[in-house]
Chain A
Amino acid sequence: MKGRTKSQKPDLTKVDKIVSKYKGEEGVLISVLQEVQAEVGWIPLQAIQRIADALEVSLGQVYGVLTFYAQFYLTPRGRNTIRVCRGTACYVRGTKANLRAVERILGIKEGETTSDFKFSLETVACLGTCFLAPVMMINRNYYGKLTPGKVGTILKQYS
Chain B
Amino acid sequence: MDAIRLTIDGQEVGARQGMTVLEAAQSAGIYIPTLCADPDLEPYGACRLCVVEIEKMRGLPTSCTTPATDGMVVYTNTPAVNEVRRTTIGLLLSDHPSECLICDRKERCQPFDICLRNVVVTERCVTCPKNGHCELQEVVDYLGITEIPFRRTTKSLPVDDSNPFFYRDLNKCILCGKCVRVCDEVLGVGAVALTYRGYASLVATFGDKPILDSNCVSCGECVAHCPVAALMPKKAELPTEEVATTCVYCGVGCGIYLGTRDGQIVSVRGRRDGTVNNGLLCVKGRYGFDFVHHRDRLKTPLIKKKGKFVKASWGEALDFVASKLKGYKSDEVAVISSAKCTNEDNYIAQKFARAVLGTNNVDHCARLCHASTVAGLGATFGAGAMTNSINELRDAGCILAIGTNTTEAHPIIALEMKRAVDKGAKLIVANPREIDLVRWSYLWLRHQPGSDVALLMGMMKVIVDEGLIDQAFIDERCENFDAFKKSLKGFDLDFVERTTGVPKDKIAEAARIYATEKPSALLYAMGITQHSHGTDNVIATANLAMLTGNIGKPATGVNPLRGQNNVQGACDLGALPNVYPGYQAVADANIRKKFEAAWGCSLPSSSGLTITEMIDAAGNKKIKAIYLIGENPLLSEPDITHAREALEKLEFLVVQDIFLSETAKLADVVLPGASFAEKDGTYTNTERRVQRVRKAIEPIGDCRPDWWITCEIGKGMGGKGFDFDRPSKIMDEIASLTPSYGGISYRRLEGSGLQWPCPTKDHPGTPILHTQQFTRGKGRFIPLEYKPPMELPDKQYPLVLTTGRSLYHFHTGTLTRRVEGLNVLKGEGTVEIDPEDASSLGIADGEKVKVISRRGEVVARAKVTEVSPPGVVFMTFHFAESPANMLTNPALDPVAKIPEYKVCAVRIERV
Contacts and interface: CB of A to CB of B under 8 A. Distances in A.
A86 B205 CA distance: 32
Interface in B163-208: 180, 183-184, 189-197, 204-207
Nearest to A74: B207
Contacts of B191: 58, 60
Contacts of A63: 193, 195, 204-207
Given A45-B207, A61-B184, A56 B439 contact: yes
Interface in B430-449: 439
Contacts of B205: 60, 63
Nearest to B440: A56
A59 interface: yes
A67 B206 contact: no
Interface string A58-80: 11111110011000000000000
A25 B72 CA distance: 40
A48 interface: yes
Contacts of A59: 190, 206, 214-215
A57 interface: yes
B180 A60 contact: yes
Chain B: number of interface residues, binned into ranges: 10 to 19
Interface residues of A, number: 14
A45 B213 CA distance: 14
Contacts of B189: 58
Interface in B214-247: 214-215
Majority secondary structure of chain A interface residues (helix, strand, loop or mixed): helix
Contacts of A48: 206
Interface in A15-63: 45, 48, 56-63
B509 to A, nearest CB: 16
A68 B197 contact: yes
Contacts of A56: 439
A64 B191 CA distance: 11
A57 B189 CA distance: 10
Nearest to A64: B193
A60 B195 CA distance: 9
B438 to A, nearest CB: 11
Contacts of A58: 184, 189-191, 193, 215
Given A56-B439, A57-B190, A60-B190, A67 B195 contact: yes
B207 A64 contact: no
A45 B206 CA distance: 9
Given A45-B207, A58-B189, A59-B206, A64 B215 contact: no
A56 B50 CA distance: 33
A62 B194 CA distance: 10
Interface string B719-759: 00000000000000000000000000000000000000000
A61 B439 contact: no
A48 to B, nearest CB: 7
A29 B539 CA distance: 45
A121 B184 CA distance: 36
Which among A57, A62, A67 has the highest number of chain B CB atoms within 10 Å? A67
Interface of A: 1, 45, 48, 56-64, 67-68
Closest 8 CB pairs of A and B: A58-B190, A60-B193, A64-B193, A59-B206, A67-B195, A60-B190, A63-B206, A67-B196
Given A58-B190, A60-B206, A63-B207, 15 more contacts: A1-B207, A45-B207, A56-B439, A58-B184, A59-B206, A60-B180, A60-B184, A60-B192, A60-B205, A61-B190, A63-B204, A63-B206, A64-B193, A64-B194, A67-B195
27 contacts: A48-B206, A57-B190, A58-B189, A58-B190, A58-B191, A58-B193, A59-B190, A59-B215, A60-B183, A60-B192, A60-B193, A60-B204, A60-B205, A60-B206, A60-B214, A61-B193, A62-B206, A63-B193, A63-B205, A63-B206, A63-B207, A64-B193, A64-B194, A64-B195, A67-B195, A67-B196, A67-B197
